[in-house]
Amino acid sequence: MTALTLLPSTGTRSLRIREIAMSDTRAFARYMTDIEYQRFLAVRYPNEYAVHQFITRAVARQDRKGRVTWHLAAEGRHSRTVHGDGFIIFHEKNVAEIGWGVDPSVWNHGYGTEIAHALAAIAIERLNARNVWCKVKAENLSSIRVAEKCGMQRDRIVNAGRGPAARAERIFIYTLAAQDYFDAPY
């Protein structure tokens, strides 16, 4: 992984993907506290204050040397309205986990695919990941389609849940090797 700390923004067909900022609190809270948005998430924010705390922690890490986590906002290229978010986390040296979320009010506009493509591109092209992966709950058919549209392949299935009272959930792990990313026809 390179020493790159602050990421420059990048554009997709419809979106501008950039590092999150404190000014994103209200926009993120608008959809991150929505039950529909939270349906497939492990970490749920109950209110705007919790979203504010998350953003505060993420922004505080943005200038750290040796950084391994990036949280991004996806806003309309022209409207500057936040439509979604994403993250890149390096759990080990050249292997990055990515994840994305889209405001339910704009589901089915292709924003999830644009965000996921951008996250993979940033991880591989700017941060030198040799492999990118994501986890998707088995019942989240939309995110499964997004992962597959980005060229990711299902690698394995794991069962989440710990302890005797935990409900086991099937989680699909999707992966994309840097070589496959560069060889993709899109």
Q: In terms of DSSP bridges, do strands 95-102 and 82-92 run parallel, antiparallel, or are they unpaired?
A: antiparallel
Given a contact cutoff of 8 angstroms between Cβ atoms, the answer to whether 157 and 139 are in contact is: no
How large is the average pLDDT for residues 123-145? 96
Name residue 159's beta-bridge partners.
170
What's the pLDDT band for 49 if we cut at 50, 70, 90? very high
Supply 12's token pair: 């997709």
Provide the 10 A C-beta neighbour count for residue 66.
7
Note the pLDDT of residue 163. 59
What's the pLDDT band for 1 if we cut at 50, 70, 90? very low
pLDDT at 2 over 90: no
For the chain, domains (ranges, CATH) are 10-183 (3.40.630.30)
Helix (H) / strand (E) containing 76: strand 69-76
Question: What is the overall mean pLDDT for the chain?
Answer: 92
Give the percent of the chain with pLDDT over 70: 92
> Could you give the CA distance from residue 151 to residue 66 in angstroms, rounded to a whole number?
29
Q: Angle at CA 44, nearest 5°, toward 102 and 59?
A: 75
User: Which region, left, alpha or beta, applies to residue 128 given φ > 0 means left and ψ of -120 to 50 means alpha?
Assistant: left
Bigger pLDDT: 167 vs 157: 157
What's the pLDDT band for 183 if we cut at 50, 70, 90? confident
> Could you give the CA distance from residue 159 to residue 125 in angstroms, rounded to a whole number?
32
pLDDT in tens, 53-65: 999 999 999 988 8
Q: In terms of DSSP bridges, do strands 131-137 and 95-102 run parallel, antiparallel, or are they unpaired?
A: parallel
pLDDT at 30 over 80: yes
For the chain, count helices (H), then strands (E): 6, 8
What's the pLDDT band for 169 if we cut at 50, 70, 90? confident
What's the pLDDT band for 70 if we cut at 50, 70, 90? very high
Sequence-distant (≥ 6) Cβ neighbours of residue 45 within 8 angstroms? 29, 32, 33, 38, 51, 54
Provide the 10 A C-beta neighbour count for residue 7.
17
What's the pLDDT band for 97 if we cut at 50, 70, 90? very high
Helix (H) / strand (E) containing 92: strand 82-92
